[in-house]
């Protein structure tokens, strides 16, 4: 049923497009009620509006904490117009019906994302009256419209225009569903914050809630027969795929998003000019260069065949050298994520090659190792539940490596091993990475046997395996892995250690005078 909107209550923290929306409501003859800053902005704009305190006959108090928690507000919202007892109660207590509620909540999520915010500051941004009105209106959506985001203003006015000042049942139902999703996200954000600043038994809260806002429907999921959508969770303040600006290209696919997230996670390990080439979430190439043009050439050399249709991440703004390398070399990539894109590089990338209009370019803003927030967590869904863990932000530099062989690595080898280890962290287990000159030469990923991962990495590296160093994400359970690596040309090895056969593994290195270092930290990635 289409129901006329005669009276609307507007109380918004985000005042984007507030004035034109209110003007649109007034053109339909809607009486406006409002509070605080919303009331003042409407009044300053010359829009006829009644303050809530005048409507209720009760002043705002306690620094605005109590202003809309009143029977004349909630009675006007919650009353069922089809029940005589409700209508009689409204008449008896002089409660006027409120047909439209426009509320967006105090910016709690944005507040707690700010560095150095205090608990007291966060608590003050917990909205009480707002969610109460939102839930009241959403519950009574058979009679009341509820708007919680400025993006819905146009839809409301268009619906009213189409129905001579009334709101359709379909729109009221849609808005109510969005309203409950909004309050769920809001409450989940408050819970996550309080759990992060409140001491409790165990490392994780007894309850964990996660909600998201749908960004887009995807063409399909991992495979064409699977449906999928992309949801954005509340901003953590860290550059991410979810907050990046899409500057160009076809709509992002499910697999694009997964690969871009993996690429950016690896790039965040490095402060230097760095590029990684990601295929199926694994780096098939990665390198530090003297500049970004140098880095992409070295990274692409890791596995040029696998690099076809890859996703790239870079730690510096994409410049003309990078664009020319890709375009003039007719190298096809699906997507690139970087802090930004120089104007001339952007033009070449988007107009030069045949795939220029399709390649996805994402700008995420400047980042580096310090951008990674330890407070964020990783969630993995399994049937019947989900797993929660903190992020693997451990990064072993040369100083953290313990030499366990008779031969010690050189200073340069230690730095190379540290580079290789940071790459191995982002390779699917069992992970083996061969590098040299701060460049990935070969990767063995996802094999059930570690020695098979070694064979794959040596095969991928080819001639460059000679003189390379090797990083393993976990210990070698038997000497065969290091024996295969040394036979392939590896000259130094880093691994966590911890095997029952560590002595045998170390002995295999000593037999060939190959230095091995232990980190004591495993980096499985399943």
pLDDT tens-digit series, residues 434-454: 999 999 999 999 999 999 999
Write out the residue limits of the CATH 3.40.50.1380 domain(s) in the chain: 3-197
Q: In Å, what is the CA distance from 428 to each residue of 283, 410, 417, 425, 521?
A: 9, 28, 18, 8, 16
For residues 138-148, give the mean pLDDT. 90
Are the C-beta atoms of residues 432 and 457 closer than 8 Å to each other? yes
Neighbouring-strand partners of residue 50 = 33
Are the C-beta atoms of 131 and 179 separated by less than 8 Å? no
Predicted local confidence at residue 70, as pLDDT: 75
Q: Which two tokens stand for residue 420?
A: 């290789």
- What DSSP state is assigned to residue 13? S
Q: Which of the two residues, 505 and 356, has the higher pLDDT score?
A: 505
Q: Average pLDDT, whole number, for the chain? A: 89
Of 57-61, 136-140, 248-252, 334-338, which gets the smallest average pLDDT?
57-61
Residues 6+ apart with CB under 8 A from 23: 45, 47
CATH number attached to the domain at 398-518: 3.40.140.20
What's the fold here for domain 213-371?
Cytidine Deaminase; domain 2 (3.40.140)
Q: What is the CATH number of domain 3-197?
A: 3.40.50.1380
* Longest CA–CA separation in the chain, Å: 96
- DSSP character for 152? G
- Range with the largest mean pLDDT of 42-46, 92-96, 240-244, 377-381: 240-244
Alpha-carbon distance of 178 to 421, in angstroms, equals 45
Instruction: Report, as residue numbers or ranges, the catalytic residues.
Output: 139, 280
R_g over Cα of the chain: 29
Q: What is the pLDDT of residue 201?
A: 65
Q: Going by C-beta distance under 8 Å and a sequence separation of 6 or more, which residues neighbour residue 10?
A: 18, 22, 32, 33, 34, 38, 42, 49, 102, 103
3-state secondary structure of 90: helix
Band (pLDDT 50/70/90 cuts) for residue 59 is: low
Q: Give me the pLDDT at residue 430, please.
A: 94
Average pLDDT over every residue of 454-471: 97
Sequence-distant (≥ 6) Cβ neighbours of residue 435 within 8 angstroms = 416, 419, 420, 423, 441, 468, 469, 471
Q: Cα separation of 233 and 230, whole Å?
A: 10
- Residue range(s) in the chain whose domain bears CATH number 3.40.140.20: 213-371, 398-518
């Amino acid at each position: 049923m289409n129901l006329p909107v005669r009276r609307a209550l507007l109380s918004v923290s985000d005042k984007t497009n507030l004035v034109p929306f209110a003007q649109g409501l007034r053109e339909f003859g809607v009486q406006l009620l409002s509070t605080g800053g919303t009331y003042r902005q409407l009044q300053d704009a010359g829009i006829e509006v009644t303050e809530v305190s005048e409507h209720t006959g009760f002043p705002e108090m306690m620094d605005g904490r109590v202003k809309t928690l009143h029977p004349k507000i909630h009675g006007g919202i919650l009353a069922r117009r089809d029940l005589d007892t409700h209508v009689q109660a409204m008449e008896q207590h002089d409660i006027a019906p409120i047909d439209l509620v426009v509320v967006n909540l105090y910016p709690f999520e944005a507040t707690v994302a700010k560095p150095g915010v205090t608990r007291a500051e966060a608590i003050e941004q917990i909205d009480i009256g707002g969610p109460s009105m939102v839930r009241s209106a959403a519950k009574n959506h058979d009679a009341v419209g509820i708007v919680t985001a400025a993006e819905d203003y146009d839809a409301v006015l268009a619906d009213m225009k189409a129905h001579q000042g009334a709101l359709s049942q379909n729109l009221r139902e849609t808005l109510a569903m969005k309203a409950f999703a909004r309050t769920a996200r809001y409450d989940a954000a408050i819970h996550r914050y309080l759990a992060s600043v409140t001491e409790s038994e165990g490392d994780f809260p007894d309850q964990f809630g996660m909600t998201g806002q749908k960004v887009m429907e995807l063409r399909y999921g991992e495979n064409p027969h699977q449906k999928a959508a992309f949801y954005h969770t509340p901003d953590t303040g860290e550059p991410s795929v979810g907050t990046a600006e899409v500057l160009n290209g076809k709509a992002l696919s499910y697999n694009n998003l997964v690969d871009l997230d993996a690429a950016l996670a690896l790039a965040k390990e490095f402060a230097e000019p760095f590029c990684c080439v990601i295929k199926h979430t694994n780096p098939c190439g990665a390198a530090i260069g003297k500049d970004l043009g140098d880095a992409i050439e070295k990274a692409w050399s890791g596995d040029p065949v696998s690099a076809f249709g890859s996703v790239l991440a870079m730690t510096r703004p994409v410049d003309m050298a990078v664009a020319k390398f890709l375009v003039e070399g007719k190298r096809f990539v699906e997507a690139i994520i970087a802090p930004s894109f120089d104007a001339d590089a952007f033009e070449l990338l988007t107009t030069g090659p045949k795939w220029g209009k399709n390649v996805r370019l994402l700008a995420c803003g400047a980042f580096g190792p310090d951008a990674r927030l330890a407070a964020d967590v990783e969630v993995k869904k399994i049937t019947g539940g989900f797993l929660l863990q903190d992020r693997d932000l451990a990064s072993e530099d040369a100083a953290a490596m313990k030499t366990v062989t008779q031969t010690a690595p050189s200073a340069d080898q230690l730095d190379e091993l540290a580079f290789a280890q940071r790459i191995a962290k982002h390779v699917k287990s069992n992970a083996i990475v061969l590098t040299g000159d701060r460049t990935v030469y070969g990767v063995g990923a996802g094999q059930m046997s570690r020695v098979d991962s070694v064979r794959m990495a040596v095969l991928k590296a080819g001639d460059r395996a000679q003189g390379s160093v090797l990083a393993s994400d976990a210990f070698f359970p038997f000497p065969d892995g290091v024996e295969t690596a040394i036979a392939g040309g590896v000259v130094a090895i880093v691994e966590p250690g911890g095997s029952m056969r560590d002595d045998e593994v170390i002995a295999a290195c000593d037999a060939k005078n190959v230095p091995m270092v232990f980190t004591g930290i495993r980096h499985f990635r399943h």
